[in-house]
Each structure stands twice: as structure tokens, then as C-alpha cells.
Amino acid sequence: MSDEPKLLESGPPAKWNRRSAFILAAIGSAVGLGNVWRFPFVCYENGGGAFLIPYLVAIITAGIPLMILEFSLGHKMASGAPISFAKARKNSEWVGWLMVMVGFVITAYYAVIMSWCFNYLFHSFSLGWGNDPGAFFTDKLLHLSSGPGELGGLNWPLVAGLALTWIWIYFCIRKGAKSVGKVVLVTVPLPWLLLLILAVRGWTLDGANVGLNFFLNPDWSKLLDPGVWLAAYGQVFFSFSLAFGVMITYASYLPRKSDINNNAVIIGLSDAATSFLAGITVFSTLGFLAVGSHHTVAGVMESGPGLVFAVYPTILNQLPFWPGFFAAIFFIMLLTLGIDSAFSLVEATSEAWVNKLGLKRKPVVITVCVLAFAFGLLFATDGGLYWLDIVDNFINKFGLILGGLFECIVLGWLYGARKLREYANRYSEFKIGRWWDFLIKFFTPAILVVTFGMDLVKTITEPYGGYPDWALFVGGWGVVALVFMLSFVFMRIRANKNQALAGGQGGGTDG
């Protein structure tokens, strides 16, 4: 007797209307702001062009195999992450809830970063950040306080941008796969086009070759450093939207006869190509800034928000023509990159509750959006940046990494990697062999354990960011502990049995 779950034969199923819609949605989820502000810096810091070797190895041995794992689970169980884990192994539903709760927390502050982008877009054509974009960012936009203990009041321009972001997210996912499939036809190709325009503009600037040489000049000695290899696996894990429940949810909307393995390869390589193009764009323009200011590229290089909201606007100020036009393109590109990642996390959370309780979709989506908006108000205060930094550091290092580790244990060992491998091969053009089982059961968990251990030791011995202990306890360990606790609480909530057994088939009705 087949162990494939029964599907609902009635009701309005939420399915992708074409394969390209699924691929674009998954790519959109994987490709986000981190491709622009994290990958270039990690690459430069870990050997330049030489880093591309461990990066590609990490994609082949961890990124794509884990994506196949999540696609196989979601497609086979035809449910969001929690119910998929519940079907795979009794009492494992909490792992799925851990994933979506980590995603929920990340979306709450990710939407605030998008609010920053909306505010910068408003100032783009007039270059309203002036001659000191760094001071504009901290003083004028964020009204940054002296520390996490001084929240101050709500920053109303940020609240307005945050509200706009959540309204946008709601309309993107209100009809599930149906509305997402239409949205990604625009929001995935558009940032690529804008990124390409910015890359071409960067290549034509004086000093572009200096920046590109700095970015791509290989330091082969770095390949002997284990830390470089761990950095490559970390970049892949964070960049591929793994262990958020997103890929499980998106795969649950696929038609029965879908090529899982090919889809994973296409999506993984597309994310890597986007990161590489972003690196070229960023470093060509950094070369221009370095030459113009008589500094080295290292002297003007920053990662994270500093690159996007301070360094890059400084570069835009110095463009010889149409600076406002290219500034607008840059921030529209960031917004369209960010929206797909944001709404995919909300989709995973919403679908989890629709599957669990059998509720109508729209009220659930509205509730999730409102709760995340309310949580995000913390990060829209004068002290919000400090709390965003703390929560981001801890939830990624200890929530996301542990979610991936437990996923490998439950699916690789308790459920059986072989079952999912055989399922993935059923309709896939190319087949994966037993080597995939080894990667899921041994190799990837070992990488995650080492990464977790190193992060834990560093966090204990070197308190993060110089923040006071109480702030790290509340915003760091406290948030991680709360996410784990809620994961077990949600698992104990009584499910709608008919909905759970049916898999939800995309989650109830649109009502």
C-alpha cells in the first residue's frame, strides 16, 4: 500500500498554475537583501575569487540537497511545514513550527528594513540624504538613540513605511499560490533587470576595475582555512531560504507529477548567479568611490545596512549623470528583492495555521500580518536598530541553525532519507543516489553542529556587539527560547483532523 497521503478531491485547491510560477516564487524567496549586502562582503573577506570554489561546493553538497529534501517532504505530504512533519513522524510537528516561527520573527524586522527602503526611495530623486548619507541614516531617518535601553517614541515615517510593506505583503499572498504566481512574474525578473542596469552602470565608472580586482582577485591560501569553508556553507544556508518552512509550503502547491530534482538545481543556481551579479555591481561602484576619495576599496567597504544606506548613497551622489534616476532604481531593486522573501515567510506561517485548524485563508493571513506588524513596531522606535541587530543575530545563529539540524535528524534518520529520495526520483528527470542520503544524514548535520558550536562559544566568550547583558538576554536568548516554547505549545493545540489528514491542499477557502 502506498504511503503517499490522500488528497482532498473537492474544494478550491491552491496549486501553481504553471511550473515557472513555482520556480520564480522559490527563487524570489531565496534571493533577498542578503544577496546584495552580505554575499559580496563574505566573498571579499574569504579569499575573493577563491571563495567561489567552497561556495559552489557548499551549494552542491548542502544547498541543493536540502532543497530537494524540503521539496520532497512538502510535495509528498501536501501540507505546510508543521503538518508535513507531523505526518512524517509522530511528535515531530514542533520542528515545523520552529521553522515557521523563526521565519515569523525574521519577517517582523525584515519588513522594517523594507520600510527604510521605502523612505530612501522617497528621497531618491532629490538625493535627500545630502552629503552625509551615514548621518542621514542614523540621525534623520532612524533618530537613533544612545542604546537599547532608550526606546524613545515611534518613528512615524518608519511606521508609515512598515504599514505600506504589510499591505503589500497581504495583497501578494491573500489568495495563496494563485496571487503569488501572478506577483512573482513581476517581482522576480524586475530586480534582476534593475541589478543588471546598475551593474552596467558600475562597469562604466572610473575605478570599476579596481573594485572588481579587489572582489575577484583570488587568495588561494584561504582555501586551507576551515573558517572559509564554514563561511561558504553559512552563506548558502542563509541564502537559500532553508529551514523556514517556505520551500516545504511552496512544494505542497505543486501538481503531483512534478520534477523535484531539476527544480532544486535551477533555483539554487539562480540564487548563486544573483549573488555573483550583486557582487560585481557592488564592487565596481565601490572601486569608483575608492578612486574618487583616494582610499582603498577596503577603506570604503561595509557590509549590511551600512553598505546599502550609507556607502551606496554616497556613491550615488557622485555619479556624473542621472544620480536620482539610478538612486530610485537601486531602492526599487531592493524593495522588489525583499518583498518576495518577506511574503514567502508570511505564506509559510499562514499556511501552517490554515492546515492546522482548517480555517479560511484570508482571516488567517490578515491576523498573521497584523501580529507581525505589531511586533515590528519595536524595531520602528528610536532604539529599534539595536533590537533588530540583537534579534537578527540570535534568531539566525541559534533558531535557524537548530531548525535545520532537527530537520535533518527527523527526516534523515527518523522518517528515512531513502523514502524521500525515492519519492523525489519518481518524476524527476535526473535521479539522486545514495550519496544524497549520506549528505542529509551525516554531512550537513555535521556542518550545522560545528557552526552552532562555534557560534555558541563565541557568543558566550564575547558578548555580541558590546550590548548590555540584559539586552542580550531579553532580545537574544529570550526570543530564541520563546520561539522554541511556542513551537511545542502550538504542536499541542488540537488540530482539525480532517484538514490535517487531507493536507489542506493549499489551505481552505478564500472566503
| Cα separation values, 298 from 22, 36, 132, Å | 39, 17, 19
pLDDT of residue 216: 85
Helix (H, G, I), strand (E, B) or coil at 396: helix
In the numeric block, the cell 504589510 is attached to: 166
Q: Looking at the structure, give the CATH architecture of the domain made up of residues 19-506.
A: Up-down Bundle (1.20)
**Average pLDDT score, the chain:** 92
What's the average model confidence in pLDDT over 339-360?
A: 95
Q: What is the 3-state secondary structure (H, E, C) of 308-323?
A: HHHHHHHHHHCCCCCH
* DSSP-assigned states of every residue in 21-69: HHHHHHHHHHSSHHHHHTHHHHHHHTTGGGGHHHHHHHIIIIIHHHHHH
Residues in the chain: 511
What's the average model confidence in pLDDT over 24-43?
A: 92
pLDDT of residue 10: 30
Q: Check pLDDT > 50 for residue 9.
A: no
Asked if 215 and 40 count as a contact pair (C-beta separation under 8 A), the reply is yes
State what percent of residues in the chain have pLDDT above 90.
Answer: 84
> What's the gap between Cα 377 and its chain centre?
20
Helix (H, G, I), strand (E, B) or coil at 385: helix
Q: Check pLDDT > 70 for residue 500.
A: no
**pLDDT, tens digit, for every residue of 55-67?**
999 999 999 999 9
**Non-local CB neighbours of 351 within 8 Å, separated by 6+ positions:** 80, 176, 249, 252, 504, 506, 507
105/394 Cα distance (integer angstroms): 11
Asked if 242 and 70 count as a contact pair (C-beta separation under 8 A), the reply is yes
Q: Cβ atoms within 10 A of the Cβ of 376, count?
A: 24
In the numeric block, the cell 504553471 is attached to: 18
**Non-local CB neighbours of 482 within 8 Å, separated by 6+ positions:** none
Q: Check pLDDT > 60 for residue 336.
A: yes
pLDDT of residue 504: 39
Q: Rg (Cα) of the chain, in Å, rounded?
A: 22
Question: Which is more confidently placed, 378 or 494?
Answer: 378
Q: Check pLDDT > 90 for residue 37.
A: no
Q: Check pLDDT > 70 for residue 371.
A: yes
What's the average model confidence in pLDDT over 156-162?
A: 98
**Non-local CB neighbours of 491 within 8 Å, separated by 6+ positions:** 82, 86, 91, 93, 94, 97
Residue 469's pLDDT band (cuts 50, 70, 90): very high
391/104 Cα distance (integer angstroms): 12
Q: Check pLDDT > 60 for residue 143.
A: yes
289/284 Cα distance (integer angstroms): 9
* DSSP-assigned states of every residue in 212-254: HHHHH---GGGGG-HHHHHHHHHHHHHHTTTTSSHHHHHHHTS
Burial of 21 (0-12, 13-18, 19+ CB in 10 A): buried
Asked if 32 and 337 count as a contact pair (C-beta separation under 8 A), the reply is yes
Helix axes 177-187, 189-203, angle to 10 degrees: 20
Where is average pLDDT lowest: 270-274, 304-308, 371-375? 304-308
**pLDDT, tens digit, for every residue of 389-415?**
999 999 999 999 999 999 999 999 999
Residue 496's pLDDT band (cuts 50, 70, 90): low
